[in-house]
Amino acid sequence: MEIDEKYMRRALQLARQGGGHTSPNPMVGAVVVHNGIIIGEGFHRCCGKSHAEVNAISSVRDQSLLPESTIYVTLEPCSHYGKTPPCAKLLIEKGIKRVVVGTLDPFEKVSGRGVAMLREVGAEVLVGVLEQECRELNHRFFTAHTTGKPWVMLKWAQSSDGFLASKDGRVGFSTPLTRALMHRERSMVDAIVVGANTVKIDNPTLTVRHWSGSSPLRVVLDRKLTMPSSSGLLNDGGKILIYNDKKEEVRGNIEWVKLDTTEPQAWLRDMYRRGITSVMIEGGYNVLQQLINASAWNELRIEVSPILLGEGIKAPIIETSQAKYQEVDGNVILTLILDSHTIESMQA
C-alpha cells in the first residue's frame, strides 16, 4: 500500500499541471510502473485532448512491458465515448492487468462503469488510494456532479470600512498584483456572472487579461433587459449568456434564456446542464447578497483595501470568522472554502 501511495502521489503532481486548462473536465494524472520503475507518465492537458491514461501509455517506449505493468490514475478511467474514446477500453486493449485508482468518477456516465469494465476482463483494480487527496484535487468537479450545480465562488473587493464602491460606483481597490491573482482565478472557472447594474456602471469585459489562460463564459443576470445596447459585452464578438424574465432567443454569439433570475438555484442548475462546473460571481451587492441569502455558494474571496470611504455602496454581509487571511501588496485577501458537511447544513 505504501508503494501504491508513492506512485499515486506522483500521479497527483502530474495532474496539477493541467490546472486552468481541463475544465469542465477534471485534472487527471497517470503513471505506468514496471518492476518498480516508472516507464510512462502523462496528464490531461486540455479539454477535448487526450486523457491522462492515453498520454502515459503513449510515453512508454517498450509497449511489450504494459501487460506486466501497473497503471496509477488519480480518477477512474472513463468508460464512454465523448470527445475521446474510453480510457478503460484502451487499458484492456493494452493488456494492463493491474490498475490503481485514486477515486471513482462522480460523473454519471462513468461512475463505477470504468472499474467494472476492467474487472470484467480479469484486471486487478484497487480503488481508494489517496482518495481524499484525489477528490480534493477536483473538488469543484466533484461538487458539480454530486449536486447538479456548479461550484460557486463569491468574489469582491471592498474598503476597510465595508464599502464596495463610492456612491457613483467607481472606486478600484485592487493593486496590479492582486488584480493579476484574481485574473488567475478567472482563468480557473468555466463562467463568470455579473448583474445588469455592474454592466451599466463598469462596462466590464470579464475576460482574462492579467494572466495567461482562457477567458470564462460571460453571464449576465438582466431581469428586465436593461443592459445598454452599447455595452461592450454585447458587441465584442465573445459568447455571452443573458438570464432574464422576458425572452428566449439566440442571436449570433448572444443567448437570452428566460427564467427566474431572482432564484439562484434555477440559473445555477441551467448552467450545470450546459456543462458548466464552476462559476465566479463578480456581481454587485444585490447579486452577491442574493446568493449568500440562498446559501448557494461554496467559496468566498474578499479583497480588503486599507482605503476608507466613509460612505457609498455597502459590501455584502457575511460571516468571515473562519476565513483565512493573507496580506498581498498592502491589501488583505480573505478566503473561505466550505466543506461538504457545512454546505449540507446550510442547505438543510
Catalytic residues: 53
> What is the number of residues in the chain?
348
Estimate to the nearest angstrom the gap between the alpha carbon of 224 and the chain centroid: 29
Q: What is the dihedral of CA 240, 245, 250, 251, to 10 degrees?
A: -70
Burial class of residue 168, CB neighbours in 10 A (0-12, 13-18, 19+): exposed
- 247's CB contacts (< 8 A; 6+ apart) are 225, 256, 258
Taking the C-alpha atoms of residue 93 and residue 82, their distance in angstroms, rounded to an integer, is 18
Burial class of residue 288, CB neighbours in 10 A (0-12, 13-18, 19+): buried
Q: Please give the radius of gyration of the chain, using alpha carbons only, rounded to the nearest integer.
A: 22
